């Protein structure tokens, strides 16, 4: 374990560093297009809930949804805005901004579908497409099985949704599919809960213009390409009753 995975004091300033609880916070990545959510006590507590193997499905869904909401809110900060001057009900002007351009979500099935509601909660009537990529049993490589995307996707900013960035194989293929439909790489934002350093590094190297927003970069991958310490199989924990 590298020293950056050692638990560190976390929490507000009313406790001294010596009194604060310690927790493992995200590995740092130097790629400019990878944004890691601030490692606040709130986020660490939410991640602790969903990582715990004893957490029951209803709580797993509830706490995952809270993290997804944080990811979507941060992701929206990476979309372009233009100036918007308005007048308030008391007759004063306010120099604000509004979002520029159209967006859509694209979930990588099935786990990415768990992130759709979080996007809908923030962006009313948002269009959502889907991509199904699975491991080809013959080649052991990711294979595209299905996609259903908005016909005007080339004119939209795309929020690509997949909770776990392990090797990055599915996400890289999804980006290829989107680019094949005319979406510029720089119009893709990839939201995910937990990334492996090797997956995030490889993805950022091969898709340097895609912005990645993640809640946490973990220690690594095990021999089955599960993220460690991770949270197990996200789709199984979210969907299996
Ligand atoms: N997908 C998961 O659900 N979990 C992992 O650890 C890796 C990929």
pTM over 0.80? The answer is yes
All structural domains of the chain: 3-239 (3.40.50.2020)
Taking the CA atoms of 52, 54, 60 and 63 in sequence, report the sign of the dihedral they define: negative
Token pair recorded at residue 26: 């995200």
> Best mutation site among 50, 110, 111, 166 for ligand 1, i.e. most ligand atoms within 8 A of its Cβ?
166
Beta-carbon contacts of residue 238 (< 8 Å; ≥ 6 apart): 57, 60, 61, 64, 111, 114
CA–CA separation, 189 and 34 (whole Å) = 10
Ligand 1 pocket residue status of 230, Cβ below 6 Å: yes
Pairing verdict, β 8-9 and 22-23: antiparallel
Q: pLDDT class for 3, splitting at 50, 70, 90?
A: low
Q: What is residue 166's predicted lDDT score, i.e. its pLDDT?
A: 95
CA–CA separation, 108 and 160 (whole Å) = 7
Tell me the per-residue pLDDT of 180-222, one tens digit each, with 9 for 90 and over. 999 999 999 999 999 999 999 999 999 999 999 999 999 999 9
Q: Examine the pLDDT at 137 and tell me if it is beyond 80.
A: no
Q: Is 55 a catalytic residue?
A: no
Tell me the per-residue pLDDT of 7-48, one tens digit each, with 9 for 90 and over. 999 988 889 989 999 999 999 999 999 999 999 999 999 999
Kindly give the residue spans of alpha helices, DSSP state H, lying in 77-185. 116-122, 169-180
Q: Is 135 a catalytic residue?
A: yes
Going by C-alpha positions, the residue among 218, 204, 140 that lies closest to residue 171 is 204
Q: What is residue 141's predicted lDDT score, i.e. its pLDDT?
A: 82
CA angle 156, 234, 226 (to 5 degrees): 105
Ligand 1 pocket residue status of 233, Cβ below 6 Å: yes
Q: What is residue 191's predicted lDDT score, i.e. its pLDDT?
A: 98
Distance 210 CA to ligand 1 centre (A): 21
Angular region, 111: left φ>0, alpha ψ -120 to 50, beta rest: alpha
Tell me the per-residue pLDDT of 44-63, one tens digit each, with 9 for 90 and over. 999 999 999 999 999 999 99
Tell me the per-residue pLDDT of 50-97, one tens digit each, with 9 for 90 and over. 999 999 999 999 999 999 999 999 999 999 999 999 999 999 999 999
Beta-carbon contacts of residue 38 (< 8 Å; ≥ 6 apart): none
4-39: b or e for each residue (b if 16 or more CB lie within 10 Å)? eeeeeebeeeeeeeeebeebbbbbebeeebbbbbeb
The CB density around residue 223, as the number of other CB atoms within 10 Å, is 5
Q: Examine the pLDDT at 1 and tell me if it is beyond 70.
A: no
Predicted-complex ipTM score: 0.95
Going by C-alpha positions, the residue among 152, 163, 229, 230 that lies closest to residue 187 is 152
CA–CA separation, 183 and 185 (whole Å) = 6
Q: What is residue 117's predicted lDDT score, i.e. its pLDDT?
A: 98
Distance 228 CA to ligand 1 centre (A): 9
Query: 3-class SS at 110?
Result: coil
Distance 226 CA to ligand 1 centre (A): 5
Strand partners, 147: 131
């Amino acid at each position: 374990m590298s020293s950056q995975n050692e638990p560190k004091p976390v929490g507000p300033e009313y406790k001294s560093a010596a009194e604060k609880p310690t927790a493992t916070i995200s590995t740092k990545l130097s790629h400019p297009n990878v944004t890691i959510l601030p490692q606040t006590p709130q986020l660490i507590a939410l991640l602790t809930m969903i990582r715990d193997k004893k957490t029951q499905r209803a709580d797993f869904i509830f706490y995952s949804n809270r993290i997804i909401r944080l990811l979507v809110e941060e992701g929206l900060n990476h979309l372009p805005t233009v100036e918007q001057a308005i007048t308030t009900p008391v007759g004063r002007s306010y120099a604000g901004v509004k979002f520029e351009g159209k967006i859509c979500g694209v979930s990588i099935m099935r786990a990415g579908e768990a992130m759709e509601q979080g996007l809908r909660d923030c962006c009313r009537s948002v269009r959502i497409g889907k991509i199904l990529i699975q491991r080809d049993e013959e080649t052991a490589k990711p294979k595209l099985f299905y996609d259903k995307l908005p016909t005007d996707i080339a004119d939209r900013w795309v929020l690509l949704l997949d909770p776990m960035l392990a090797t990055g194989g599915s996400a890289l293929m999804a980006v290829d599919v989107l680019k094949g439909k005319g979406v510029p790489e720089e119009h893709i934002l990839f939201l995910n809960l937990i990334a492996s350093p090797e997956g995030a590094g490889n993805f950022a190297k091969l898709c340097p213009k895609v912005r990645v927003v993640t809640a946490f970069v973990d220690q690594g991958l095990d021999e089955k390409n599960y993220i460690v310490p991770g949270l197990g199989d996200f789709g199984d924990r979210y969907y299996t009753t």
